[in-house]
Amino acid sequence: MRRFEQSIDRTILEGTYIVARLDGHGFSRLTEKEWSLEKPFDIRFHEAMTATLKHLMLCGFHTMYGYTQSDEISLLFHLDEDRFGRKERKLISILSAEASVAFSTHIGHMAVFDCRLVPLPNIDYVIDYFRWRQEDSHRNSLNAHCYWLFRKEGISASNVQKRIAGLSIEERNELLFSHGINYNDLPMWQRRGIGAYFIDKEKVGYNPVTKAQNVCVRRSLFVENELPIGEEYADFIQSLIKKNSHARQ
């Protein structure tokens, strides 16, 4: 029986960066029809995603960076992550379960996340990956604001799609501007997504036995709400990876 059970076991090769991307399953319908949320973006939804991201980074894996935009989360694992022997199906099933439970608990509705693993051979690909997701965030949020602008005017979903399909980024910006929305003034979490990483903080304590002060270093999770973009974002990801290649959690 073991041979059957293990016949589709795969492991992610050592020395390869692992990124896991979790995505809310069927969230277009749930966010539009089932849950009463502000459209296109709702701070309560975003807070539930941030809480889920934090949970994923604190639930026993060795992660170095987490990123969330819309209904998706990307997690970058430390190169020496060896939980479950880097078995693909264990990582996928545990991560999607952890995300689903954390998000459902926070938002108060049952919700499910899928998960895929993206093995990346070097730092350059990791940087490209995160730039790609951030650019996706920009495209999606611009699209969502244009879409809901018309939907709120009572235009049907299919007609809205026809009206905005084929518009360039500039034209979408102008469309919003002509309706009193300056895209660049919208909250950064909507336009760029947010990131999370660990920082070391020094804490001064007092030892009552030796009657001496001691300094210890505490690791805490920091949420960056104002991520840079483009080359600056690339530098940000690169320095995070470099810093983490020396430190072990």
Among 46, 86, 191, 192, binds ligand GDP (CB under 6 A): 46
Residue 50 in the binding site for ligand GDP (CB under 6 A):
no
- Output the smallest distance, CB 143 to ligand GDP, in A: 9
Stretch that binds Mg ion, among 35-43, 69-77, 212-220, 227-235 (CB under 5 A): 69-77
Stretch that binds Mg ion, among 12-20, 54-62, 63-71, 162-170 (CB under 5 A): 63-71
Is 71 or 81 the residue whose CB approaches Mg ion more closely?
A: 71
Residue 109 in the binding site for ligand GDP (CB under 6 A):
no
Q: Tokens standing for 203?
A: 């804490």
Residue 24 in the binding site for Mg ion (CB under 5 A):
yes
Alpha carbon distance 87, 165 (integer Å): 41
Residue 27 in the binding site for Mg ion (CB under 5 A):
yes
Residue 187 in the binding site for ligand GDP (CB under 6 A):
no
Alpha carbon distance 160, 154 (integer Å): 10
- Cα dist. 152→28, 130, 148, 242 in Å? 16, 32, 6, 46
Alpha carbon distance 109, 99 (integer Å): 13
Query: Which helix (H) or strand (E) covers residue 215, if one does?
Result: strand 212-224
Residues 188/225, Cβ–Cβ less than 8 Å: yes
Return phi, psi of residue 198, to 5°. -95, 140
Is 49 or 149 the residue whose CB approaches Mg ion more closely?
A: 49
Biggest distance spanned by C-alpha atoms of the chain: 75
Is 39 or 201 the residue whose CB approaches ligand GDP more closely?
A: 39
Residue 60 in the binding site for ligand GDP (CB under 6 A):
no
Amino acid letter for position 93: S
Binding residues for ligand GDP, per CB under 6 A? 23-28, 31, 37, 39-42, 45-46, 70-71, 144
Binding residues for Mg ion, per CB under 5 A? 23-24, 27, 71
